[in-house]
């Protein structure tokens, strides 16, 4: 016996009642830790809506298959969470899902879906501010689908492993040979500027390949990438690929792979130029190759830094099962500094806590070192000619500007953790 969702509250004690199933177009992500608690994301592929829900809501949603009865779902819920689902609980979950047309109950017509699509886009735009913005340029999915279909060898594990080894060897060689390569690089820009400028075109191409590789890996693992463009995230302007589906991949290893594969693809573009650096004695070709390898390697390896929401930070977050390691570390730091009676609960594992503690220490050390270096450089350039009062005033201005920027970034990233809230974009 199946029922209308509005009748669930009255029949929640009937074991034979089959509630409406979750729509086949709705996906449920694996859990990740956010603000100390496991959360899931529901994605409606019909409208692009992403909704963050709690562990219990996701548990129920995942069992609305049109086969299980209310009694069966309630029994599984009791075993998992050691409490029963009453009429109010059922009414709440069906209100949550029904309001967003996530149930397969025949009520979501074209007009409703269009309204939900418009709402999803509006909520997405509200995430951006003065310090962050995205401009969509193209939908790469037809191209990526064609590559996966016609050149499947590119996405096979042996191919990816072999290329990863090759680019690792290249990166190690570049770092070991850095003093000599840096001298050649400086000479290229000083005496052969045209080759240096030409190398920038290759580096931009490698950045494009970087983003395409994120999308290609997502398609190969069963997801999709339907948007690429330009992103402004203070203080960087870069290319981006939207790969929300990485959040729904079943294993952490797959999510980490999608996050890091862009760096591998970017370095692969540099391999022919690295070979030229190894074999060429001199001449214009080597000048071009040196400039490409040095600039491209720096641009690639910087992406592995686990800060500033770069690929390294995303991979670390995925590997640890965290929504975002920087915000989660800040949450747990505030939690530790609060009074014991006022501390928010946290279900982070010992490994996650240890990783966040190490990450927080790294942020303080790296940030402190950069701040000290910047202050010393600034003093060497202009500070030595200023009076003490002028130094204090300039330092105060810098702190005020930094505080304003930090506040704007925090406001742009802060989203309520309530069930059913739009979750924003998935991490690449």
Q: Give the model confidence (pLDDT) of 69-92 as tens digits.
A: 988 999 999 999 998 888 888 888
Separation CA 22–CA 105 (nearest Å): 9
Q: Which letter, b or e, does each residue of 57-93 get, where b requires 16 or more Cβ atoms within 10 Å of its Cβ?
A: bbbbbebbeeebbbeebbeebeeeeeeebeeebbbeb
Residue 295, pLDDT score: 95
Residue 419, pLDDT score: 36
3-state secondary structure of 50: strand
Quote the DSSP letter at residue 52: E
Q: What is the CA radius of gyration of the chain?
A: 26
Q: Give the model confidence (pLDDT) of 31-50 as tens digits.
A: 999 999 999 999 998 988 88
Q: Report cis status (omega within 30 of 0) of the bond before 235.
A: yes
Q: For residue 54, name the pLDDT band (cuts at 50, 70, 90).
A: very high
What are φ and ψ of residue 417, in 5° steps?
Answer: -100, 30
- What are the structure tokens assigned to 329, written together? 């570390």
What are φ and ψ of residue 375, in 5° steps?
Answer: -65, -45
CATH class of the structural domain 5-124: alpha beta
User: How confident is the prediction for the chain on average, in pLDDT?
Assistant: 85
Residue 32, pLDDT score: 96
pLDDT (average), residues 395-412: 62
Separation CA 131–CA 375 (nearest Å): 24
Q: Give the model confidence (pLDDT) of 230-288 as tens digits.
A: 988 777 788 999 998 999 999 999 999 999 999 999 999 999 999 999 998 888 899 99
Please determine, for residue 211, whether its predicted confidence score (pLDDT) is greater than 50. Answer: yes
Q: Give the model confidence (pLDDT) of 212-223 as tens digits.
A: 999 999 999 999
Separation CA 87–CA 85 (nearest Å): 7
Q: For residue 388, name the pLDDT band (cuts at 50, 70, 90).
A: low
Q: What is the pTM of this model?
A: 0.85
- List residues bridging with 138 in a β-sheet: 228
Please determine, for residue 421, whether its predicted confidence score (pLDDT) is greater than 60. Answer: no
- What are the structure tokens assigned to 260, written together? 């890091």
Please determine, for residue 417, whether its predicted confidence score (pLDDT) is greater than 60. Answer: no
Locate the domains of the chain by residue range. Answer: 5-124, 127-319
- What are the structure tokens assigned to 225, written together? 């990438």
């Amino acid at each position: 016996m199946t029922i209308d969702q509005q009748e669930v509250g009255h029949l929640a004690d009937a074991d034979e009642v089959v509630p409406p199933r979750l729509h086949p177009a709705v996906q449920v992500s694996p859990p990740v830790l956010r603000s100390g608690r496991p959360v899931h994301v529901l994605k409606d592929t019909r409208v692009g809506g992403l909704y963050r829900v709690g562990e219990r809501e996701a548990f129920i949603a995942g069992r609305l298959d049109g086969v299980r009865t209310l009694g069966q779902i309630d029994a599984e819920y009791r075993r998992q969470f050691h409490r029963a689902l009453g009429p109010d609980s059922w009414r709440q979950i069906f209100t949550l899902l029904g309001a967003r047309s996530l149930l397969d109950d025949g009520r979501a017509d074209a007009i409703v879906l269009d309204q939900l699509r418009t709402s999803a886009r509006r909520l997405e735009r509200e995430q951006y501010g003065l310090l962050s913005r995205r401009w969509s340029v193209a939908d790469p999915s037809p191209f990526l689908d064609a590559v996966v279909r016609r050149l499947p060898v590119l996405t096979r594990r042996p191919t990816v492993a072999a290329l990863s080894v090759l680019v690792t060897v290249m990166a190690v060689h570049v770092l070991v040979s850095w003093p000599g390569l840096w001298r050649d690089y400086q000479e290229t820009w000083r005496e052969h500027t045209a080759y240096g400028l030409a190398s920038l075109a290759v580096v931009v191409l490698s950045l494009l390949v970087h983003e395409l590789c994120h999308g290609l890996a997502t398609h190969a693992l069963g997801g999709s990438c339907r948007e690429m463009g330009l992103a402004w995230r203070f203080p960087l302007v870069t290319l981006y690929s939207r790969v929300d589906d990485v959040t729904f991949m079943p294993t952490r290893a797959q999510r980490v792979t999608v996050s890091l594969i862009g760096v591998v693809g970017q370095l692969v573009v540099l391999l022919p130029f690295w070979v030229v650096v190894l074999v060429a004695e001199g001449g214009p070709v080597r000048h071009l190759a040196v400039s490409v390898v040095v600039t491209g390697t720096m641009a690639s390896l910087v992406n592995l830094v686990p800060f500033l929401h770069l690929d390294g930070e995303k991979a670390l977050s995925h590997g640890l099962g965290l929504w975002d390691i920087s915000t989660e570390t800040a949450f747990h730091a505030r939690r530790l500094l609060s009074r014991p009676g006022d501390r928010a609960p946290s279900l982070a594992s010992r490994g996650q806590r240890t990783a966040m503690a190490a990450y927080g220490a790294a942020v303080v050390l790296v940030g402190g070192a950069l701040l000290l270096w910047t202050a010393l450089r600034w003093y060497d350039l202009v500070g030595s000619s200023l009076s003490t009062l002028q130094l204090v005033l300039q330092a105060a201005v810098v702190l005020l500007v930094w505080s304003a920027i930090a506040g704007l970034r925090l406001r742009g990233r802060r989203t309520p953790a309530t069930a059913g809230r739009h979750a924003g974009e998935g991490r690449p």
